Amino acid sequence: MSFERVRVGEMLFSRLTEAQAVETVRRSLERGEGGRIFTPNLDILRQARLARPYLAYASLVVADGTPVVWASRLAGTPLPARVAGADLVWSLARMAARDDYSLFVLGGEPHPERGGARRAADVLRGHCPELRVAGALSPAYGFDQDPRQFHAVREELADAKPDLVYVGLGFPRQEQVISALRPELPGAWFLGCGGAVNFVAGDQPRAPRWMRRSGLEWLHRLGSEPRRLGRRYLRDCLPFAARLLLGATLARYRGDDGWSYQRYARSHDR
């Protein structure tokens, strides 16, 4: 399947639904082909310059943020829906269980035996009893900066030969890790899923469905982790969201070729 790309800010997003993303992965695995799903939210879109190297190699770029979808609609080039990494971990697992593909989970709270990845894998298997879990690792923080530790992770992943790999380490670490691991498994699909491993494992609460649907998931996360997220959300993301939505509106009504706010936004790129 090939999908039209829609420009939002300084990124091109795949115009597809969650179900279409899952079906794309299924068909690709059926052909023995791998790929990579990049899941930019508003904060990653704000850091477009940092994200650019990973966009170039992404098979699918999905909008993991309601404001991103709002901006596309204001610009007159609507994305059909938000496609969240925290939702894809479930729908891809159901597909894998149904079609007998294996899954490896990397990330979550570190622990040598019962880390977040192992507990998340157990929860997924509890909901999808036929799911084949090829492995689960929650390496110590900073493992990707230690050649010996990273080599051990790479070896375990290569030996497991999974069809799907969830990497929940946060941006941009997970994208860097995926870039380094993909050559080992050219036939596998990688999903950078941020905090989804912790959500599934139960280490962090996810926002209620009504908050996710109304674009208020960020408020729930801010309330859960005010020290870590306060500055990012209130100082950086909210002003950026205002510029994004205004720029989208101007782009539509001025008939601009591209986004009229981009030159300004680039000067504020962090």
pLDDT tens for the 270 residues of the chain, in order? 678 999 999 999 999 999 999 999 999 999 999 999 999 999 999 999 999 999 989 999 999 999 999 999 999 999 999 999 999 999 999 999 999 999 999 999 987 667 899 999 999 999 999 999 999 999 999 999 999 999 999 999 999 999 999 999 999 999 999 999 999 999 999 999 999 999 999 988 787 888 777 777 877 777 777 777 788 788 788 899 899 999 999 888 776 645 434 443 444 443
Rounded distance, CA 206 to CA 200, Å? 9
pTM of structure: 0.90
DSSP 155-182: HHHHHH--SEEEEES-TTHHHHHHHHHG
Which amino acid makes up residue 44? I
User: Domains of the chain, with CATH numbers?
Assistant: 5-213 (3.40.50.10700)
3-state DSSP of 198-262? HHHHCCCCCCCHHHHHCCCHHHHHHHHCHHHHHHHHHHHHHHHHHHHHHHHHHHHHHCCCCCCCH
Parallel, antiparallel, or unpaired for β 5-8 and 11-14?
antiparallel
